[in-house]
Amino acid sequence: MTVALHYEADGTHDASPLVLSPSLGSTLAMWDPQEAELGAHFHLIRHDHRGHGGSPVPPGPYDLDDLGRDALALLDELGLRRVDWCGLSLGGMVGMWLAAHAPTRIGRLVLCCTSARLGPPSMWRDRARLVREEGMDAVADAGIGRWLTPAFAERCPETAAWLRGMIAATPPDGYVGCCGVIERMDLEPVLKRIHAPTLVIAAAQDPATPPEHGERIAAGIPDARLEVIDDAAHLANVERPEAVTDLITDFLL
């Protein structure tokens, strides 16, 4: 059963629609660095995944099909037959699912710091177990270590604290449910079915989804283009906002 995702619609409402989809452990606010610039060109829709932010937290387990169908229900609610989709990490995984399983709904696809298969499964089971036993604070510091390079976190402690608070505030059941999504996900067999024009963005210092994950996605999707940003970890859109925003706008405009 789908859930009604929490979302915000901004920007130029008679312009082409662009969905910004967030990572595991974050909310739509992670796209704040892009909101003003992209909102000047697009009808911008940002959302929270099930189990995150303002969206409902249904009982688990969750699978990628559930998150994809939630997204389709949101597009239906908004009366959007076709959108461009930009997703980071978990948001990129949902974007790939949509482009493969509902191809008429996706115009162009931007995949940031994401993976088509992100193992080993035991890592996600262990992380989910830690959250069940000790809560979100137990994974928040490690999350920042993946999201930001140490130099940026030291240089911008207020941003690191903002993002850590975002992780810590994620409902544990929602986080655990989405860990299960990634644990069981394997999109590699369906990449060849994606025909939406696709830009893949990887970050050179990303410990969660290193550039080789982007390389495999770009090799699997026909005619996909890969760009690698230096001096950024997993949340490249926060650490290198101008570079990521420029790549998105150059590709979509």
Domain for residue 124, yes or no?
yes
| Nearest of 161, 139, 158 to residue 208 by alpha carbon | 139
Domain for residue 1, yes or no?
no
Residue by residue, what is the 3-state secondary structure of the chain? CCCCCCEEEEECCCCCEEEEECCCCCCHHHHHHHHHHHHCCCEEEEECCCCCCCCCCCCCCCCHHHHHHHHHHHHHHCCCCCEEEEEECHHHHHHHHHHHHCHHHEEEEEEECCCCCCCCHHHHHHHHHHHHHHCCHHHHHHHHHHHCCHHHHHHCHHHHHHHHHHHHHCCHHHHHHHHHHHHHCCCHHHHHHCCCCEEEEEECCCCCCCHHHHHHHHHHCCCCEEEEECCCCCCHHHHCHHHHHHHHHHHHC
Domain for residue 64, yes or no?
yes
Cis geometry, peptide bond prior to residue 210 (ω within 30 degrees of 0): no
Domain for residue 183, yes or no?
yes
Rounded to 5°, angle at Cα 70 from 67 and 71: 90
The predicted pLDDT at position 13 comes to 84
The predicted pLDDT at position 12 comes to 87
Radius of gyration of the chain, Cα coordinates, nearest whole angstrom: 16
User: Among residues of the chain, what percentage have pLDDT more than 70?
Assistant: 100
For 205-234, the pLDDT digits (tens) are 999 999 999 999 999 999 999 999 999 999
Could you give the number of structural domains in the chain? 1
250 in Cβ contact with 37 (< 8 Å): no
The predicted pLDDT at position 139 comes to 98
Neighbouring residues of 134: CB distance < 8 A, sequence distance ≥ 6 = none
> Which residues span the domain enclosing 79?
7-252
Domain for residue 2, yes or no?
no
Q: What is the mean pLDDT of the chain?
A: 98
Phi and psi at 145, nearest 5°, equal: -65, -25
Q: In CATH, what number is assigned to the domain containing residue 103?
A: 3.40.50.1820
Tens-binned pLDDT, residue by residue, of the chain (253 aa): 999 999 999 998 899 999 999 999 999 999 999 999 999 999 999 999 999 999 999 999 999 999 999 999 999 999 999 999 999 999 999 999 999 999 999 999 999 999 999 999 999 999 999 999 999 999 999 999 999 999 999 999 999 999 999 999 999 999 999 999 999 999 999 999 999 999 999 999 999 999 999 999 999 999 999 999 999 999 999 999 999 999 999 999 9
The predicted pLDDT at position 209 comes to 98
Q: Say whether pTM exceeds 0.85.
A: yes
In the sheet that holds 198-203, the strands lie side by side as 7-11, 43-47, 17-21, 83-88, 106-112, 198-203, 225-229
The predicted pLDDT at position 233 comes to 98
220 in Cβ contact with 191 (< 8 Å): yes
- Distance in angstroms (rounded) separating the CA atoms of residues 125 and 182: 10
